[in-house]
Amino acid sequence: MKELKIQPIKNGSVIDHIPPGKALKVLRILSLPKKDTTSIISAVMNVPSETVGKKDIVKIEDKELDPDESDKVALIAPHATVNIIRDYEVIEKHALSIPNELVNIVKCPNPSCISNSNEPISPRFKVISKRPPIKLRCYYCEREPADIEAQII
Amino acid sequence: MLKDFNKECPTVNDIASKKGPVDQWQIAAFARRRPRVQIPTGPHLFCIVFPREGKRKDINTLFAFRNSMNLINKDVVSIKDFSNKEIGHVLNVAEKMIPVAQGAKKSEMLKGKLLANLFFEPSTRTRLSFETAMKRLGGKVIGFDSSKGTSIEKGENIADTVRVVSGYSDLIVIRHPYEGSARLAAEFSKVPIINAGDGAGRHPTQCLLDLFTIRKEKGAIENQHVGLLGDLKYGRTTHSLASVLARMGAKLTCIAPQELQLPKEIIEECQERGTEPKLMNRLEDEIKNLDVLYVTRIQKERFPDPAEYKRIMSYYRIDKEVLGRGKKDLIVMHPLPRITEIASEVDSLPQAVYFKQAFNGVPVRMALLALILGGIK
């Protein structure tokens, strides 16, 4: 029987050190795969890790994550790292960091917030605490969403 | 030196055409509609860009600007946008405005200025006191007090309404049922915005007049023991008041039924600001220690069982007997309208300051208008 294994990728991005069980959520946040996505995406879950015990890994072939996309991932996996691979070599490796302000990444759960109306604005949040538990405050109504993951656009 | 500095400073046109030494913050300042100040961290000289007029100022003017606490063109969206020093300054100016507010002294300070009252929701005290404040200072008022008959009914959004009205007036006062609507208005307006209540959200001018009343009646805010009583969970104006009282050094006791007690995040906010609010269920246990009793309405609709509502209300009704147990110089405040939470027999007692409090809305709003429109520095 042919052995199926996660192979190193030639070009693309590897998101490492995702908390165990959250790999699929990371993909959902990145809206991957899209209808027109041609890249091969692999998600490995519950991988033993020397440093953190267990972790998930996501590999996206032929796609280099830009910082905006990385920011989104930081909301659910603040300790994850993104490796950019070109020709099997890691050409860039960076830890994710949450910016001070999030625009168009999380929507406000408050139905009475002006950002949920027909006004020409994008949902905007100030990051109050970058350390877990992450705290965000809506720029408009100043409410703090309790479940951030559920509000990611 | 100053001449050279001005010569090297990029003009608005330079920024627009990306010529000259343009820093990121200058572009940010240019992108805004009103003059803003950003203080760079480095030791280099810098200028303030006034996008509309294309003027610029040197560093000395900036520090003069900061020290005089110039509130010209400031948006008043949330009380959090004000430092303690700025609040103190507004209250000092409000004190001087009292004779004008009473009609004992005439003022033409804001002659030629036009205020637009955009009230998408009904209001009595707030709208009338803004109108009174503007007219007492010689200014004029335009506006509406419900969205009926306006283009809002045709589906126009707030952003467009504000953009249009900011071309007609010098300052906009807005009340809208959506939370955060005033912040949005400030983004789209060319003139300053004052929030007159955004849904269940913020109501900064109410907060300022509450602070003014405490300071006027008790001489100071610091070290006053303030009891907040009633619905402390849903009333977000009480949240802002609790938070600002905490940062101004007042002691806080929150008296409410358990299901209507101050939310955890507001308690944490008070703790961060150095005040540990005491949480109580019954007023009688604490009234003897209070300097200020701030009463809010407990809404019937919060209780599915009318009998439970009646029972709870009986604990929180303020009458002569309850006040007899408090300090002689205790003051009772209420944002009004009150329904049954304060008995009418209390009105004639020296402790009752809620009608004075409602009047204080006028000098406080006069102070804000004068400071924002440049009638007073």
Question: ipTM above 0.85?
Answer: no
Nearest C-alpha of chain A: how many angstroms from B238? 15
Q: Which residues of B are the active-site residues?
A: 125-126, 154, 175, 203
**Does A114 contact B181 at a Cβ distance shorter than 8 Å?**
yes
Q: A-chain residues within 8 Å CB-CB of B178?
A: 112-114, 117
**Does A113 contact B180 at a Cβ distance shorter than 8 Å?**
yes
CB B237 within 8 A of CB B175: no
Domain B79-203+360-372 and domain B204-354, same fold? Reply is: yes
**How many beta-carbon pairs under 8 angstroms link A with B?**
51
**Does A140 contact B157 at a Cβ distance shorter than 8 Å?**
no
What is the C-alpha separation between B178 and B155, in angstroms, rounded? 15
- Residue-wise pLDDT tens digits, B330-343: 999 999 888 889 99
**Does A114 contact B187 at a Cβ distance shorter than 8 Å?**
no
Give me the residue from B177, B184, B200 closest to A121, CB to CB.
B184
The fold adopted by the segment(s) B204-354 is: Rossmann fold (3.40.50)
What is the C-alpha separation between A112 and B181, in angstroms, rounded? 10
| Nearest CA among A2, A25, A36 for reference residue A147 | A25
Q: What angle do CA B69, B1, B48 make, to 5 degrees?
A: 35
Nearest C-alpha of chain B: how many angstroms from A79? 26
**Does A143 contact B199 at a Cβ distance shorter than 8 Å?**
no
**Does A139 contact B179 at a Cβ distance shorter than 8 Å?**
no
Within 13 Å of residue B2, how many CA atoms lie on the same side as its CB? 6
Give me the residue from A115, A141, A144 closest to B201, CB to CB.
A141
Give me the residue from A118, A120, A140 closest to B180, CB to CB.
A140
- Residue-wise pLDDT tens digits, B248-257: 999 999 999 8
Nearest C-alpha of chain B: how many angstroms from A78? 23
Chain B positions with Cβ closer than 8 Å to A: 78, 80, 157-159, 176-181, 183-184, 187, 198-202, 265
What is the C-alpha separation between B214 and B279, in angstroms, rounded? 21
What pTM was estimated for this model as a whole?
Answer: 0.79
Q: What's the CATH number of domain B79-203+360-372, 3.30.420.40, 3.50.50.60, 3.40.1280.10, 3.40.50.1370?
A: 3.40.50.1370
Give me the residue from A114, A120, A142 closest to B178, CB to CB.
A114
Nearest C-alpha of chain A: how many angstroms from B156? 9
Task: Tell me the domain boundaries of chain B.
Answer: 5-68, 79-203+360-372, 204-354
**Does B179 contact A117 at a Cβ distance shorter than 8 Å?**
no
- pLDDT tens series, chain B, 377 aa: 444 434 444 444 444 444 444 444 444 444 444 444 444 444 444 444 444 333 333 443 444 444 457 899 999 999 999 999 999 999 999 999 999 999 999 999 999 999 999 999 888 889 999 999 999 999 999 999 887 777 777 788 999 999 999 999 999 999 998 999 999 999 999 999 999 999 877 899 999 999 999 999 999 999 999 999 998 988 777 888 999 999 999 999 999 988 889 988 889 889 988 899 999 988 888 899 999 999 998 877 777 788 888 877 777 889 999 999 999 999 999 998 888 899 999 999 999 999 999 999 999 999 999 999 999 87
